[in-house]
Chains A and B, each alone.
Chain A
Amino acid sequence: AQSVTQLDSQVPVFEEAPVELRCNYSSSVSVYLFWYVQYPNQGLQLLLKYLSGSTLVKGINGFEAEFNKSQTSFHLRKPSVHISDTAEYFCAVRLPQGGSEKLVFGKGTKLTVNP
């Protein structure tokens, strides 16, 4: 079975500062990795995904994440955050195509960007 640990439940930062949201996963087989974002009163939307290939993936809104197989991590980064990045961020894993369709989510990290 797969599991996801998001190490920080809340991350406060100042506007224009860099941010890293940490995600570690556990799986005995290869997995696909995702970051979803949930803005207040909105549905979750996909930020970025890692399926295979280059370990550095770029997503929407200037976010990027790096897949590290040896450390089983998929940390999300942004070099300079805006007030509008305030949201809850969820890391998730699933088996590759042909396996279960189930996405396993972490508990989420609330990012608060202060002026």
Chain B
Amino acid sequence: DTGVSQNPRHKITKRGQNVTFRCDPISEHNRLYWYRQTLGQGPEFLTYFQNEAQLEKSRLLSDRFSAERPKGSFSTLEIQRTEQGDSAMYLCASSAPTGGGEKLFFGSGTQLSVL
């Protein structure tokens, strides 16, 4: 069990550029979640996958955001035409098939700074 891995740890980009983050969940976990956290706030839910199916999306996830989990293993989160308001820590979490989403394991996050 190597934990949830997120890459890169930090990303600095210019406004208008596209960025992509990767999340590798714990290997036997079929549930995967993306959250966003800004300074002084708790994490906010973005989206949820069960295996490769994206089953839930927050209204926070605008058309510029897209997430995929093509083979039910790793996931990517892409932000197109980044804006300064996208600056945040992007967190990925996974959970085991049994027990529903009652215990989430979080990665250390990708810190995005949009200049």
Listed in ascending order, the chain A residues whose CB lies under 8 Å from chain B are 4, 9, 32, 36, 41-46, 49, 51, 90, 92, 94, 97, 100-108
Contact = CB atoms under 8 A, between A and B. Distances in A.
Given A43-B3, A44-B91, A100-B56, A105 B42 contact: yes
B106 A43 contact: yes
Contact of B44 (A45, A46, A105): A105
B105 interface: yes
A4 B45 CA distance: 14
* Interface SS majority for chain B: loop
Nearest to B92: A43
9 contacts: A43-B3, A43-B93, A43-B106, A45-B105, A90-B42, A97-B100, A102-B56, A107-B40, A107-B41
A102 B58 contact: yes
Contacts of B105: 43, 45
B101 A106 contact: no
